[in-house]
Every structure is written in structure tokens, then in C-alpha cells.
Amino acid sequence: GAGVSQSPRYKVAKRGQDVALRCDPISGHVSLFWYQQALGQGPEFLTYFQNEAQLDKSGLPSDRFFAERPEGSVSTLKIQRTQQEDSAVYLCASSLWLAVNTGELFFGEGSRLTVL
Amino acid sequence: EDKVVQSPLSLVVHEGDTVTLNCSYEVTNFRSLLWYKQEKKAPTFLFMLTSSGIEKKSGRLSSILDKKELSSILNITATQTGDSAIYLCAVPRGSQGNLIFGKGTKLSVKP
């Protein structure tokens, strides 16, 4: 596709419900990042994939958060037993190679999760 | 701990004004500093700075890095209402370029 696509754009979940957020990166992009952006804050790193390998998951806030990218393209961020503090916009970003070399990450529009 | 601090957190100006946004950073093994503009949801890339004192310019926007002061500024001249957005500063951490973002500066340009 032309850009990074995320779905759903909006998700309302009841506390305790499981949710899955999808990211379809730009075709051919090797690196994929997930960020969490709370209201009034900058994006905070969650996890990073290089192709299908999850090389860094240090930002995942708890073991309720799980991400995968099984074929090195589409990625899914899963949140189990959602809590109110999980309410945020979840941004996915991709880059052609290592972002540190070019600096440019291409971001999707994000998935806004509201946990009631 | 690596961190990025932006100031001010919000700014209201009138069309035609010039604004300066600030970013300071503390990061191990600094390589670059990036500026993004966030309207609605998706941040879009503005500049990447790697060398001190060299200004990057794009239209009415310009940015410069000061490695000695561990800081950068983003200037916008002759502001327009379309410049209203959150401006994010970020530095990469780690070998893969995981970006650490500041909280952003919310710029509102009034007609």
C-alpha cells in the first residue's frame, strides 16, 4: 500500500476484554515499531521487529501485551484483559531498513483504544 | 536514563508570527535528532539533524542542532493556521533506531 495502514481506527473495549490491533506496513519495509501515545504525551516505544524477528520488546508495559509479525509484513499487537490505563492511541511505524540510518519512520494513523 | 525534553509544551500565536520550539536531550551514543509534525494522528517527518551548526531548511521551517548544548531548535517563520500541530522531537536509542520522543509542543496559530 501507499502508506502504513492500521485497523481498527477506533476500538472501545470493556475492562477485561482482549483486543487485537493490526498494522500493515509499507511493502518491503524491514523495520516495524509499535508505540503507545497517551493523551498529551509523546509516543512511547513498545516493541520493534526486524522482518519477523522481535528484537526489542523492552517497552511492553506488562505481560498482557503481546506483539507478533509472523511473516515479516503485517503485525498484530494484542492486549489481554484490558485495563483503563491501556487507553491510548497505538501507533505503528515502519522503515525501509534500520531507522537509525535514515531517521525516517513512516507512521500509521493509529488505533485509538478506549477501555471502559 | 535517556530522555528528550521539549519546551514550551504549548504555544498560541497569530498568523505571521515567528516561533521557536526547543528540544534538549540526554542519550547514550547520540547519533541524530529528528523533528516530526503531528496533525490528527500520524506524525510526519520534518528533519533529521546529525551535525552541529548546520541548518536544515524546508520552506518556512528550519532547524539546527547544538551538540555542545545537547539541544536543537525548530523555527517557523510567517506562521500560518496550517502550521497548527504538535511538534515532536526524538532521538534514536539502540542499534535499531528505536526513537525516544519528547512530549511535544502544541502550536496553535490563530488567524
pLDDT of residue B41: 74
Contact B90, B104 (CB under 8 A): no
> What does the pLDDT average to over B77-103?
89
Contact B32, B8 (CB under 8 A): no
Supply the mean pLDDT for chain B: 92
Interface contact A109, partner B, CB < 8 A? yes
Whether B103 has a pLDDT exceeding 70, the answer reads yes
Interface contact A21, partner B, CB < 8 A? no
pLDDT of residue A98: 67
> What does the pLDDT average to over B1-20?
95
Q: Are A100 and B100 in contact (CB < 8 Å)?
A: no
Number of CB atoms found within 10 A of residue A65's CB: 18
Number of residue pairs across A and B with CB atoms under 8 Å?
A: 79
Cell of B78: 510567517
Q: Which of B102, B99, B107 is nearest to B89 (CA)?
A: B102
Question: Could you tell me whether strands A10-13 and A111-115 are parallel, antiparallel, or unpaired per DSSP bridges?
Answer: parallel
Residues A18-65: pLDDT tens digits? 999 999 999 999 999 999 999 888 999 999 999 999 999 999 999 999
Q: Which residues of B have a CB under 8 Å from any CB of A?
A: 4, 6, 31-32, 34, 40-45, 48, 88, 90, 92, 94-104
Q: Which site among A100, A104, A109, A111 would you substitute to test the B interface, given the most B Cβ atoms closer than 10 Å to its Cβ? A: A100
Distances (CA, A) of B94 to A56, A105, B83, B104: 10, 15, 32, 22
Whether B40 has a pLDDT exceeding 80, the answer reads no
- The pLDDT confidence band at residue A90, using thresholds 50, 70 and 90, is very high
Query: For residue B41, which amino acid is it?
Result: K
Q: Which of A100, A115, A87, A114 is nearest to A31 (CA)?
A: A100
